[in-house]
Structure 1
């Protein structure tokens, strides 16, 4: 049985981590969040210690190293806290299992690689789309087909006015729109089609970011937004505020279902040493960092939503 600690216990994604720890037969020994709305812990690990102060959380884990020890720290906090909390985990003698984006810059990846070597511990991340059965099948099909593809990626998730006033709307803390809501799609594209060879940003605004990238085996026009007005009318008519679409050579790829147990599968792989590490996430981190800095412009084909 592995012993876990969890940061960001009051967050949206934390219950998936608790569920995964439980379903893989392991134990949550301590949890951290500055907010106290964490009653969900009772459904999984009512005996877990809980802290609202990072210093007390870290001290508790440090004091218990000589006892049963700690195997993993699961990190589900706002993006800018990932890097320091991963460092804390490794210094405590535990592996880190961190939500996306793992970190906000490629230089942080490099520093973590050095710390892995110094401590002998590992940094893992949650790239759950890579274990989605439909997407695993798609990757196998693309490998068999060969050839270069033309891809259109569209992701619109309607968010209220709160979004831009929270840490998510602060580029320094979230990494910006492409990082916060898009990093898993950029990882998916690199996993399916290879490394990014060329990148253009056509629009970079608070609610919309869009551009074009050339990968080894595909050209991709991409569009990300939190503006609900971009959700197609027929989708909004069904009461939905989110629209997700990926087309490959004009054929839409369906993968909206099958997400229920993906975190649990990532945990299973991680515990057996077959999870996703620093280098697995490098292309997506590099891409989103470049999107923050590339001057908008370019001549490549624009996403159809930009012509509306």
Structure 2
């Protein structure tokens, strides 16, 4: 089998990295536009039933809403258009403000002027803005519901699927980092790998030493012990990171292997944490 020239391999790698960055940019812009945490309408979302369970969720960005206070109550009214028909929702709060509780909220909904049953629920992403569940498929066919899912596809992704997406992107990024370190183990790559290995040592020390207090079988001042563990972990991380950077400066095979492993671990952790924080902050997962 003919070997791919190193220059061609580097070009293909950069193209792949560019495609991944473009994918992340597009995904990020779409997520920001429909982020549950940034909904400002009094009703955060509406979910429609399908086969006696929640089958479709539409965020409040598509709602037209009004609010009023009367007789010590807060009344929120929102409407949205679904398949050229109007869905109207009215929530009457027993208190003059929106509370993070379902008790005391009267939910009323109508589709094309016909009353349909509904209820409310809360999540941490939308705060005191309730989510409405319309316990009816509104006579929509499976084709109609599928079209709506495609139109609002980001709102249909479950927590577990988001976790899988984050994990998949982090793994892909780590593989690209490993390949980059293999093709071009430059000084910057080696320093990043050394710092990553130091961070790994810090994390392992925190986990291993921190858990010893529970295995000791005797009373230990927990806060004091965790303080000692934290300091030891920092020292170990710095020592390992410094030693790794010094080792990786050489051109040996061992140094190259550790450069690849360190780069892969560092990028996996960095991308994974950034993406996980993003989906949490934007409210796509609780």
TM-score by length of 1: 0.20
The structure that has the greater radius of gyration is 2
TM-score by length of 2: 0.21
Structure that is richer in helix per residue: 2
